[in-house]
Amino acid sequence: MTSLNDPGYMFDRGMETLPRAELAALQLQRLKATLARACQAVPHYRRRFAAAGVKPDDLRALADIARFPFTLKADLRDNYPYGMFAVPRERLLRIHASSGTTGKPTVVGYTRADLDLWSDLMARSLACVGVRPGDMVHNAYGYGLFTGGLGVHYGAERLGCTVVPISGGGTERQVALLSDFGARVLCATPSYALNIAEVADAMGIDIRALPTRVGVFGAEPWSEAMRRDLEARLGIMAADVYGLSEIIGPGVASECHVAQDGLHGWEDHFLFEIIDPETQTPKPMGETGELVITTLTRQAQPMVRYRTRDITRLNDAPCVCGRTHVRVMRVTGRNDDMLIIRGVNVYPSQVEAVLIGYAGLAPHYQIVLTRAGALDAMTVEIELAPEAPSDEAARREKARAVSHHIKSMIGVTCDVVIKEPGAVPRSQGKAVRVKDERGKGG
């Protein structure tokens, strides 16, 4: 039994350190059962498998998964609201939904066993980033249909933490309660954590002097530069957690605080693949592409080869923390968020990596897209740091320098507009990094 102060503490040591050959055997057995259940209980999968000419029995080895069809977000929309469920609606204990930007929301459902599993996986994830039983956890992820709030909430309780279920928004109150209750752990989107730090400054509260030591950040892409910035501003260790509602919510993969080098994807419950998004063929271990996930134990809603659109790579090298589960490296962006500006592929997180920590700038930015004739143009709006010189000439010079820097680092030509402190909208959940004005005659 490891002590709670031991950096090697794990929520589920036996499973987290299972030798990879045993993990693979477990995955194969669970994958077979999942495919059989999906085919038997969900007409959508039955039709798709038939159209692709495959049967669950065709799967003999894990690699045979490549013969099965993908599941897309559009499939969830087409089967809205309950068509993807493998159990009668009455057996669901909870529903979550993600709003998305267009059309119907994506609905996800959970049986009692699913909710139990989710709590366990989230407890495992929190322990993995360094949260311990007995910690006070300030949970600023939004409660409601979004999976962040309740997912983290029940995971923290399962681990044995004291949860402050504050949800997002009311930022001054967040700062006051962080100070009064003395939470050791702050859970939020990275952009909202930044907003909290800024509001604390404005309130004259030295947030670094508070007992908060661990940040559990996810739900949106963020860069290493942003990590360093958050760590410096908040006086914490900032950890990356990943998940998506279609698969279960947060708790799919989690960084270990020992190595901070990739997020352990919980392979006893999920099968991870990387594909080439163009050819849709599997890529070998270590190569970058789109992450595809199959659930291995979900009851209400088995997901077969769900295309996440998230761009990353996998790493199955042994980790110094002792966990054997594959590492999902930092998600740098989504292929549907990728911008193509004058032929150059650009992810907002690449722009962020250039901007954050740049002398004289505050870490608040937005990318505005406009169209001039047939060409897309990108303008980066970023705020001046409160203490930086703000006269017109200094601003123009700074804008020129930043634009040059973006061109040399990313290869894209863009305009840069330096805004007054406070002029870029602040996030209370997932940040809106891209403002698309291309359809507005801009």
**Segment interacting with ligand DLL (CB under 6 A) among 170-178, 244-252, 297-305, 365-373:** 244-252
Is residue 68 within 8 A of residue 35, CB to CB? The reply is: yes
Residue in the block written with tokens 């949970």: 139
Q: Which DSSP helix (H) or strand (E) runs through 362?
A: strand 361-372
The residue type found at 194 is: L
Select the residue interacting with ligand DLL from 130, 243, 302, 348 (CB under 6 A): 243
Both tokens of 342, joined, read: 């004058």
Both tokens of 416, joined, read: 């840069």
**Segment interacting with ligand DLL (CB under 6 A) among 153-161, 245-253, 376-384, 396-404:** 245-253
Peptide bond into 81 cis (omega under 30): yes
Select the residue interacting with ligand DLL from 334, 371, 407, 435 (CB under 6 A): 334
- Least spacing, CB of residue 362 vs ligand DLL, in Å: 22
Interface pattern 44-83 for ligand DLL (x via CB under 6 A): ----------------------------------------
- Least spacing, CB of residue 427 vs ligand DLL, in Å: 13
Q: Which is nearer to ligand DLL, 145 or 401 (CB)?
A: 145
Q: Which is nearer to ligand DLL, 85 or 141 (CB)?
A: 141
Q: Which is nearer to ligand DLL, 68 or 146 (CB)?
A: 146
Segment 203 to 242, residues that bind ligand DLL, using CB under 6 A: 218-221, 240-242
- Least spacing, CB of residue 149 vs ligand DLL, in Å: 8
- Least spacing, CB of residue 290 vs ligand DLL, in Å: 11
Is residue 300 within 8 A of residue 87, CB to CB? The reply is: yes
- Least spacing, CB of residue 96 vs ligand DLL, in Å: 9
In this chain, which residue has its C-beta nearest to ligand DLL?
Answer: 218
> How would you label 280-293 residue by residue, b for 16+ Cβ within 10 Å and e otherwise?
eeebeeeeebbbbb
Nearest in space to 187 (alpha carbons), one of 218, 224, 143, 159:
218
Interface pattern 335-354 for ligand DLL (x via CB under 6 A): --------------------
Select the residue interacting with ligand DLL from 109, 168, 215, 250 (CB under 6 A): 250
- Least spacing, CB of residue 386 vs ligand DLL, in Å: 28
The pairing of strands 434-436 and 361-372 is parallel
Q: Residue 27, exposed/middle/buried by CB under 10 A (0-12, 13-18, 19+)?
A: buried
Query: CA 299 to CA 432: how far, in whole Å?
Result: 33
- Least spacing, CB of residue 371 vs ligand DLL, in Å: 25
Both tokens of 314, joined, read: 């996998």
| Residue 184 neighbours by CB under 8 Å, 6+ apart | 131, 135, 136, 137, 211, 212, 213, 214
Q: Which is nearer to ligand DLL, 244 or 362 (CB)?
A: 244
Q: Which is nearer to ligand DLL, 218 or 262 (CB)?
A: 218
Segment 347 to 406, residues that bind ligand DLL, using CB under 6 A: none
Residue in the block written with tokens 């894209």: 412
Select the residue interacting with ligand DLL from 141, 154, 270, 347 (CB under 6 A): 141
CB atoms within 10 A of CB 279: 9
Select the residue interacting with ligand DLL from 98, 297, 315, 390 (CB under 6 A): 98
Q: Which is nearer to ligand DLL, 48 or 309 (CB)?
A: 309
Is residue 154 within 8 A of residue 251, CB to CB? The reply is: no
- Least spacing, CB of residue 73 vs ligand DLL, in Å: 10
- Least spacing, CB of residue 99 vs ligand DLL, in Å: 9
Select the residue interacting with ligand DLL from 56, 130, 148, 429 (CB under 6 A): 148
The pairing of strands 214-218 and 185-188 is parallel
Asked whether position 35 contacts ligand DLL by CB under 6 A, the answer is no
Q: Which is nearer to ligand DLL, 245 or 403 (CB)?
A: 245
Asked whether position 244 contacts ligand DLL by CB under 6 A, the answer is yes
HSE-CB for 75 with a 13 A CA cutoff: 21
For the chain, the residue count is: 442
Number of residues interacting with ligand DLL: please give it, by CB under 6 A. Answer: 21
Asked whether position 147 contacts ligand DLL by CB under 6 A, the answer is yes
End-to-end CA distance of the chain: 62
Residue 405: strand, helix, or coil: helix
Query: CA 388 to CA 394: how far, in whole Å?
Result: 9
Q: Which is nearer to ligand DLL, 106 or 179 (CB)?
A: 106
| Residue 390 neighbours by CB under 8 Å, 6+ apart | 384, 420
Segment 292 to 331, residues that bind ligand DLL, using CB under 6 A: 308, 310, 331
DSSP state letter for 217: E
User: Which spans of this chain sit near ligand DLL (rule: CB under 6 A)?
Assistant: 98, 141, 146-148, 218-221, 240-245, 249-250, 308, 310, 331, 334
